[in-house]
Structure 1
Amino acid sequence: MAGYLPRETTSLVGRKNELGHLRNALAAHRLITLSGIGGVGKTRVALRAAGRAAPERPDGAWWADLSPLPDERLLLPVVCDAVGLSDHTTRSQADALCEWLSDKEGLLVLDSCEHLVDACRSLVGDLLTAAPGLRVLATSRQALGVGGEYVVEIEPLPVEGDHAALALFTERAGKAVPGLSLSDPRAAGAAAGICRQLEGIPLALELAVAQLRDSSVEEVAERLSHRFEALVGTERTGTPRHRTLRTAIGWSHELCEPLERLLWARLSVFRGPFDADSARAVCSGGPLAPQDVGRVLDGLAEKSVVGWDGTRYRMLDTVREYGRIWVAELGEGEELAQRHAEHCLSLARAADAGWRSAEQGEWYRRVADVHIDICTAMDRLLVCDPARALELIGLVGFYWSCCGHLHELRGYLERALVLHPSPGPARTRAQWVLGVNALLQGEHGLAHELGLRCDEEARQGGDPEEVLAAGYLLGLSHLMAGRPLAAHTVAVRLPGPADMTRDSASRRKCRLVEVFALTGLGMLTEAHGLATELRAACAETGDWWTRSYTEYQLALVSLFQDRPGDAAAHARAMLMGKRHIGDAFGIALGLDVLAAALAAQGDGERAALVYGTSQAYWRTVGHPQRGTPELGPVREECERSARSAIGDEAYDAAFLRGASVRTAPGLARALDGQLPLS
């Protein structure tokens, strides 16, 4: 969510001077780059500095982690996601991002730019030109080279006297081995020696601390000293500190068991966070049996090779780079990349099945968590197996549409459809997803054309689910074009069981189209009855996506039937569901209806405030207010009633307060504090 930073998972030791320097630099410069070798702590310093600066910026701070990105193609989507932009237009993402940030006064943190320096240089230059109130804080192993850039070199921690390196080592050692004391002169001397040997590089020190679980500090110091002595005169490449870090990582690698080294190498195929099941599916094989992966993974976590946040594992980019070197040495790169792609495809198939189960919400989260890895798999399959690439994008396309990844989705869909022109279920499914995408981007004619094509192909193929999916797209395209009777005709001709709890997910979507159509036709009693029945079926089956839009329709019907209290309750229920997946389009619709309900209850100030917040969400999707035609009069009446209740001056002031706040707090306030702000 825009305006929020990652949670700090470890303490920040030292760096008082650097943070003071950064505070002053952020006040004086629009672009600050924290430079330094890998593992020196640039990310941690940036996170703490951003956390301190955020309250001073009207729009807070945004965090974009670029380390998982394989190349520049995902740079814009990641930055858009970080700042809360879910653009639903067909314009370029760069233009949309510049316009979105043009009036913002926030701090954008771009973490780990070193492998994308050229692309980051171009993007940052454009953003600083377009958004005069924007500040950018970048971390990179080299400067970006943008005019006006202020570079702050992050040095290793001091290793002399009562130094910060020893303080870090002591604190981390106490957490790694509870009860461990370094107060003994020999132990303290050994610890200080380790800090000097590793030149105060935080990552190197963390890797050394991990060895204390099964060795004394004196033993660790002695082994490290021997390793450096053996390397004197043999390591000529890179800067001395780079060689020190590489030596520390290599030393940690040598101390791993053979299976741990093998898993370390294979885990480097993951670009983002991963769980044990994914590691098992992709990385087992040969001497590493599936049943051993969990134990070996725990060993790597104990050695600080991977981090664990309570649900997933992560690997620092510096450590991942070392693993990739060994993958190349083992000659497993191609096989591993293929297994990774196959795993992502299997995960997408499971997610598609999960959509039809009570675990729908959980699968939304899982697909979102592996977004970068799915993109990596897609890139590979487009080159080596376009048929499977088409299947993969068809399977995740609806999730991506709901979560706002429309530009990425459109690009992948168009490439896959060109590369795999052969007819079949996968192509029909991909065309269906493209139709949904086109609807959300405002291309109603293209969506209708694709709906007709999908309907024809689905009926020829004889798959009932594909027929229902095509009917949903066709019906929706009629609704958005103001043809509710045509939408109703499409929806009611589609087969389905008498008991809605036995409906498939596709059939429930078609019933939803029928509810929309009945509302558009003014058949409010029928719409309310069908929507109530559909909502109950969704609650029983766990289909909260369809339920959220059913709540939206119940809110509209309640408004039209002069029951504003019921309308407000249904609108809030809809918003609770939409917020769960970050569906900015759905949230904007729900806020419009909630504002109208509040205005109808005579609460003009809160109506104006919520209506302003809805405008903030409409801005995130890049469109003016959209939806089916019957929403136009609802919005007009909302503003008229609210202005009449409190007067133009009070209305404008409340509206501007709602429109100017960050969207997450605005939504929480609209829901009367029923949701946390983060």
Structure 2
Amino acid sequence: MTGNVPQETSSFVGRGAELGRLEGALARHRLVTLTGPGGIGKTRLAQRAALAAAEADTGGGPGEADTGAPGGAEREAGAGRGHFPDGAWWADLSTLDSSELLLSTVSDAVDLADHSLRMPLDALSEWLADRRLLLVLDSCEHLIDACAYLVGELLTAAPGLTVLATSRRPLGSAVEELVEVLPLPADGPDALALFTDRVTDRLGRAPLAEPGAAEAAEAVCRRLEGIPLAIELAAARVGSVGPGAVAEVAEGLGSRFDTLASPGYAWPRRHQTLRTTIGWSHELCAPLERLLWARLSVFRGAFDLAAAQAVAAGGPLGAAAVAPTLERLVAQSVVRRIGPGAEPGTGTESGPGTLPTSGNGNGNGPAHAPAPAPAPVPVSVPATAPNAGSGDRYRMLDTIREYGHTWLCELGEVAGTQDRHADYFTGLARWADAAWSGRDQLLGYRRIEEAHPDLRAALDHWLDHDSAAAAELAGLLVYFWTCCGHLKEARSYLERALEQHTAPGPARTRALIGLGATLTLQGEYDRAADISDRVQAMVAMRGDSEDLAAAACLTGLLGMLTGQSRTALDAVREALGSAPGYVPGTLRSHALDSVPGSAFDTPDRLRCHLVEVLSLTALGDFAEGRARALELRRHCVEIGEVWTRSYLDYQLSVVALFSAEPEDAVAYARTMLESKHLLGDSFGIALGLDLLAAALAAAGRAEQAASVYGTGGAYWRSVGHPQRGAPELQPIRDRCERTARAALGDDGYAVAYTRGAAAHGPTALAAALLPDGVGHE
């Protein structure tokens, strides 16, 4: 299945006729909006329709999801695959408080990691222009005007695009086909089946065999008018399968509705029914359960127990009481358990799918390469790390979260709870930043990725209340933003934080360096150079060696991407030389001699060593570049660091290619791509695919090379740039491409190239990493 539609975590009951009507509407109309009140089942219906559409187009089934980008630059590649040959893609808008990040969220959803200076809407429109896909925008009601405008622009720019929206009210477009989602028939079998199914899930067997249970369940469904969320909340109140259990729920509901019934009540009937049911569930909660419900409403995305304890504990709700109280809310369907997050071990359990390994099987590059490095050390979570628990994650449905937030406001606890929320996620960012250059790098990356909606919320909170904290958090997130391609989001937050926080100090310096790196990656070199000069002057006055290293990394990055490799080399060597006890020509300082297993003073010095290697190679000093890369790579493997190691593999592949060692170049490029896949680094993957294609061409495997060139071209398009990298490497890439084209002829090259481009995403990346001769015909 092509796309990113979330898999269902509970059974889908009924709605056969509605699904048929929705599928027909999607076949006839380019904008279909599912409307209805909260809790009516819009999201589940959209999810089932999107999964069915994606599976029909690929011939796949549940569990075969592919998280790659939409593929198929050539329309012929999708011929005969159904209505949406480029898949179904899901954008959850419920985590957004404003429209400012709407474009960023939708771009992320379709795997567009745009690094360019284009306007975000232009980049997204171009990305979708020649694709035939289904885009689901879930929960549009609080961003209705922005969503309506965005959808109108995208439908104009992308004739093959179909949009399915869910909203409590229409978008208001002239081309919109409205499909109202009604409750399940209250007297029909589906409502009763949903009630029975949810009780059975909790208790292990059906409750309706007891005398009078079926009649009581039918009464519950009638009282709740077939509203799915209300039925699920009622089912969660059935405490056993013994006699009278369902009847007790029916009696409790009846009393609640009789108490609240009022002829002058202003809510529409279905809204009143759901709100009354949620209020009934709230009333039946114990005081600590109601308090936890209210405090958990500040989370924008999924959270784990550690986060819940840090944010929601306090006063009568002690930290030790959070876990059992949370479990009781899960049992009552107030909170939903959605499965585990990133775990200790490899640090990649929640990351991209598994790819075939290359080289010698342990991520060390060519089996015959000089001085192979030892196997990587598995990732572990330090006991002091925020969010260190690796258990289940939880989430609230929007309607229930809104009720909890109303209660939080009544308690007068909004400000304090939001402060704790922002403090917790700032602490998580500090830990992940410190872990970036060590064995916990992948785990930290996954934790930050999972927490992305709440990190945005924390940034927004600090921007409103504490500019210094906003600048610190924005600076801490730079590596995540730049690796994941969230450059426009990074730029927006960094510029806002720097505008508000003008006092000199570490937070402002780091945010400035982050903005400079972001601008460099976007190609805005003049402004980046200005920031680099300002930062260099600032850190030179303070004389701090760590600040000097961080500033030198920015100067080095800018120099490498603008053909000034000598400037880059000089900058990082000067910064490295400023470290106390630094031993020239090595990776260590005397200060580290007493620290077993340590390779580097600081993460910034590690990156300075990387810039040194990259600059040496770009300047043509292959012997020293290779020696330094191999030494640095061994240290990276020893400490379990992945990001730097991936670029060292890139450089070792470049050196092998220039040294007429194409097989080593192929092996190192493939190992680099495995690491970049783990990090979700589209820019790095594009670089690696270009290099792998060149190495394959040099090795005489022209057809495989052309296919990989096509996959690389699709990735370059996803980051919004033509092929990039050090300018000095372009001639050999061009020469290898001409070699492959000459071997295949123009027509043969075009066929292979198109095949690679059409399969863009992890599927194509996996094909590029397959052993030679497998899957490339």
Task: Give TM-score scaled by structure 2 length.
Answer: 0.85
Q: Hey, which bits of structure 1, 4+ residues long, moved more than 6 A?
A: none
Is this contact kept in 2: 1:46–1:139, CA < 8 A?
yes
C-alpha distance in 2 between matches for 1:645 and 1:337: 63
What is the one-letter code of the residue matched to 1:655? Y
Aligned-pair distance for 1:406? 0.7
Distance 1:651 1:499 in 2: 44
| Residue 596 (structure 1) shift | 0.7
Q: Counterpart of 2:632 in structure 1: which amino acid? A: L
- Structure 1 residue 635, shift from structure 2 partner: 2.2
Give 1:234 deviation, angstroms: 6.5
Superposed displacement of residue 250, structure 1: 0.8
Bigger CA drift: 586-595 or 501-510? 501-510
3-state SS in 1 of match to 2:86:
coil
Which residue identity does 2:177 align to in structure 1? Y
Match of residue 198 from structure 2: 172
CA displacement, residues 60-117 of structure 1 (integer Å, 9 cap, x when unaligned): 0110001111111111111000011111112211111111111111000000111111
Shift of 1:551: 0.7
1:248 to partner: Cα distance: 1.0
Q: How much does 1:179 deviate?
A: 2.6
Which residue in 2 is equivalent to 1:275? 304
Distance 1:507 1:377 in 2: 29
Q: CA deviation at 1:400?
A: 0.8
1:450, distance to aligned residue in structure 2 (A): 2.0
Matched with 1:140 is 167
Conserved in 2, the CA contact under 8 Å of 1:39 and 1:201?
yes
Over residues 432-488 of structure 1, what are the superposed CA-to-partner deviations in whole Å (9 max), with x where a residue is unaligned?
A: 001110111012232233223222222322332221111111112111111222222
Other-structure match for 2:627: 529
**How many angstroms does 1:583 deviate by?**
1.0
Of 255, 258, 269, 1:229 maps to 258
Query: What percent of counterpart residues are identical?
Result: 54
Q: How does 1:494-643 map to 2 (within 5 A)?
A: 494-495=576-577, 496=582, 498-500=586-588, 501-503=598-600, 504-643=602-741
- Following superposition, the deviation at residue 603 of structure 1 comes to 1.2
Q: Which residue of 1 aligns with 2:352?
A: none
Shift of 1:235: 6.7
Contact 2:618–2:729 (CA<8 Å) still a contact in 1?
no
SS in 2 for 1:64: strand
Q: Residue 643 of structure 1: SS of its match in structure 2?
A: helix
Aligned pair 1:212/2:293, yes or no?
no
Structure 2 equivalent of residue 22 of structure 1 = 22
Correspondence list, 1:392-541, <5 A: 392-493=473-574, 494-495=576-577, 496=582, 498-500=586-588, 501-503=598-600, 504-541=602-639
Higher alpha-carbon deviation: 448-457 or 261-270:
448-457
With over 3 angstroms needed to count, the CA separation of the structure-2 counterparts of 1:261 and 1:601, relative to structure 1, is same
Contact 2:186/2:224 (8 A) holds in 1: no
Q: 2:461 aligned with 1:371, yes or no?
A: no
Counterpart contact for 1:548–1:574, Cα < 8 Å: yes
In the alignment, which of 112, 118, 141 is matched to residue 85 of structure 1? 112
Q: Does 1:48 align with 2:146?
A: no
CA displacement at 1:673 relative to structure 2 = 8.1
Counterpart in the other structure of 2:759: 661
Aligned partner of 1:31 in structure 2 is 31
Provide the C-alpha distance between the structure 2 equivalents of 1:581 and 1:316, rounded to a whole number of angstroms: 29
Q: Higher helix proportion, which one?
A: 1
Shift, 1:51, TM fit: 1.2
Match of 1:194 among 216, 220, 226: 220
Aligned to 2:10: 10
Assess if the C-alpha contact under 8 Å between 1:356 and 1:543 holds in 2: yes
Task: Assess if the C-alpha contact under 8 Å between 1:404 and 1:584 holds in 2.
Answer: yes
Aligned match for 1:358, one of 439, 448, 461? 439
CA distance in 2 between partners of 1:341 and 1:482 (Å): 41
Tell me the alpha carbon deviations over residues 341-379 of structure 1, each in whole angstroms, 9 at most, x when there is no partner: 222222221222222431011111111111111111211
Structure 1's unaligned 5+ residue stretches are: none
CA distance in 2, matches of 1:235, 1:300: 32
In the aligned structure 1, how far is the partner of 2:483 from the partner of 2:29?
38
Work out whether residues 156 and 199 of structure 1, in 8 Å CA contact, stay in contact via their aligned partners in 2: yes
- Alignment of 1:72 onto 2:169: no
**Cα distance change of structure 1 residues 106 and 240 upon mapping to structure 2, 3 Å threshold:** same
Output one character per residue of 1:284-314: Cα deviation in whole Å (capped at 9) or x when no partner.
1110111111111111111111111222111
Instruction: Give the Cα–Cα distance (whole angstroms) in 2 for the partners of residues 644 and 363 of structure 1.
Output: 46
Give the superposition deviation at 1:410.
Answer: 0.6
The answer (yes or no) to whether the contact 1:390–1:417 under 8 Å persists in 2 is yes
> Which SS does the other structure have where 1:475 is aligned?
helix
How far residue 214 of structure 1 moved from its aligned partner, in angstroms, is: 5.0
State the alpha-carbon separation in 1 of the partners of residues 265 and 725 from structure 2.
Answer: 64
Residues 2, 82 of structure 1: 8 Å contact kept: no
For the Cα contact (< 8 Å) 1:613–1:658, is it kept in 2?
Answer: yes
Q: Alpha-carbon deviations, 1:192-231, whole Å to 9, x = none? A: 1111111111111111111113581111111111111112
Cα distance in 2, alignment partners of residues 347 and 132 from structure 1 = 42
| Partner residue, 1:242 | 271
Is the counterpart of residue 155 in structure 1 residue 182 in structure 2?
A: yes
Q: Do 2:653 and 2:664's aligned partners in 1 also have CA atoms closer than 8 Å?
A: yes
SS at match of 2:303: coil
SS of aligned partner of 1:648:
helix
CA distance in 2, matches of 1:22, 1:638: 50
| Corresponding residue to 2:282 among 246, 253, 262 | 253
Counterpart secondary structure, 1:408: helix
Partner AA of 1:319 in structure 2? I
**Matched residues in 1 for 2:264 and 2:494: separation?**
48
**2:207 matched residue in structure 1:** 181
Coordinate RMSD, CA, aligned: 1.8
CA drift of 1:577 comes to 1.1
- Aligned twin of 1:262: 291
Aligned partners of 1:337, 1:596: CA distance in 2, in Å? Answer: 51
Partner of 1:59: 86
Count of aligned pairs: 675
Q: Report how far residue 499 of structure 1 moved.
A: 4.7
| Secondary structure at 1:310 match in 2 | strand
Find the aligned partners of 1:61 and 1:478 in 2 and give their Cα distance: 40
**Displacement of 1:612 after TM fit?**
0.5
SS state at 1:213 partner = coil
1:448–1:478 Cα contact (<8 Å) kept: no
Greater relative CO (CA pairs within 8 A, separation 6+): 2
Instruction: Name the SS of the counterpart of 1:252 in structure 2.
Output: helix
Name the SS for the 1:58 alignment partner.
Answer: coil
- Is contact 2:467–2:501 with CA below 8 Å preserved after alignment? yes
